[in-house]
Chain A
Amino acid sequence: MEEKTAEIKQGARLVVASSPHMRSVDSVPGIMHTVVMALFPVVAASVYYFGLRALLIIVVAVVSCLVTEYAVQKIRNKPVTIHDGSAIITGMLIGLMLPAGFPLFGVFLGSFFAIAVGKQLFGGLGFNIFNPALLGRAFMQATYPVLITTWVSPRTVQKAVDAVSAATPLALWKFEAKATLLSDLFFGNVAGSLGETSVIAILIGGLYLRWKGYVNWKLPLGYLGSMAVVSGIFWLYDPLRFASPLFHLCAGGAMLGAWFMVTDMVTSPTTPLGQWIFAIGGGVLAIIIRLFGGLPEGVMYSILFMNAFVPLINKHTRPKVFGEGVKE
């Protein structure tokens, strides 16, 4: 465990890219529990804005993930690894990516799909190509397209019997050309998925992860940086039609995706160059989908799309062994 952690901490100086990535099970729980810790501010913000219903959704997602992982591993006669915490994180992330009014059966279905199809079908932790939480979310998007885009206004869940439905800042901009206050975006006082609204809570969690050394700074920087650059170009071209880069960084799932999903160790490349390609490609795609796609939000599909390229990126950015690659 120490060895692996040290390796990650020293990542900047000494690049030891192991592939397949996190095979050493010993080191996994430590990292995973730190990630769970880092998600606590995000969970707290979601409960603050969307009430206890938010907590209920997150708990159901976590329990469903653990039960699914246990059941699949039992059926397949594989060692049960629910104690490593990875299923807890997947569950928390799924919960945080859903709207407050999402039905609990849907939460279970998405979590089941994420773990059973997204993770165990590929062979379990370390072998999955796609981020399981995002895959579960994408399955829900296709299964319940109406429910998953039925958002509620923050701070209305407790007060009224029926929560007030509202559009997300991105949808408001795209379909009604309405801007949202940046301060509301920053603190999270907007409609959206449970955990994506509060930029400050995500930043606290993300920077804590970075401080613990579990986040490779290239990934969030490349992702958010390229989003800012691409949206900035369009914004300079026509500030009335295109939203500012700051808006794009703070709205929707950009922050949550950049800090907790792009950085997933299993589904991101192992080489420094590969990590840049992966992160920048994802950021560019996210903005393209947001500006020109049918949907207002593109973070989820951009990361899933880039996940698919990780094996290819790894293969072509592998550092050359001394003596290899000499032209004849």
Chain B
Amino acid sequence: MKDFTKMFLNLTVVGSVSGVLLAGAYHYADPLIQANRERELKESIFVVLPEAKDYKIIEKTVDKQKLVVYEGLGVDGKPVGIAFKADGGGFQGNISIMVGLNLDYLRLKGIKVLEQVETPGLGNRISEPKFEDQFKGLEFTPRVEYVKNKKPDRPNQIQAITGATISSDAVVKNINNYLAKVLKEFPKEEILGAASKEDGHRTMTSTEAAAQKKH
């Protein structure tokens, strides 16, 4: 019986003390971690929408799937473009890309590869500016395409990385997939309309979002 009490006390005391310590640490660390994430997201949005100074989160639930786009806001608070994340499988693992969409809904403003685990020296060159910059001003009707070993001759084409066709293909595929969804669910009129008045969708600027998280 004495043993039992000792075991019980042992685990209870150590467990509770650890819990209290962790809760305390979390209290201090969590706002910082959230702020880091926020900053990272902001930076990646601003890379693909260079004129943006702030952004607004627009969410929609379609078929139980949450779709999120970020509407970039310029100095005067007017929308400058739409950014969204495109995730999908690459050669070795997930590739996550931030895509910037021009407000005319005809061209891309740019892309930024956020996460990838492609082969170093080959596939991971998708995150080099040389590859990413090809998407600046790229047209996407009917879809983004890639060509190999030659200069693109149409406004909706990019050049794939030599020796890394699979990774290049994955990037293009992800962008096309998400682009189709965004074009369907967030039509131009709606976005531009929402800029002037709230129309039922949950929208908030990043500062509002941060304020809401604190509560």
Contact = CB atoms under 8 A, between A and B. Distances in A.
Please say whether the chains A and B touch (CB closer than 8 A).
yes
Interface of A: 145-146, 149-150, 167, 175-176, 294
B163 interface: yes
Interface string B121-150: 110000000000000000000000000110
Chain B facing A: main interface SS: loop
Given A175-B148, A294-B91, A145 B119 contact: yes
Interface of B: 91, 119, 121-122, 148-149, 162-163, 165-166
Nearest to A145: B122
Contacts of A150: 163
Contact of A294 (B121, B162, B166): B166
Contacts of B149: 167
A146 B163 contact: yes
Chain A facing B: main interface SS: loop
Given A145-B122, A294-B91, A175 B165 contact: yes
A176 B163 contact: no
Contacts of B166: 294
A176 B162 CA distance: 13
A196 to B, nearest CB: 18
B148 A145 contact: no
B26 to A, nearest CB: 42
A145 B91 contact: no
A150 B121 CA distance: 14
A145 to B, nearest CB: 5
B211 to A, nearest CB: 46
Contacts of A175: 148, 165
A83 B41 CA distance: 64
Nearest to A176: B148
B165 A146 contact: no
A175 B122 CA distance: 16
A146 B122 contact: yes
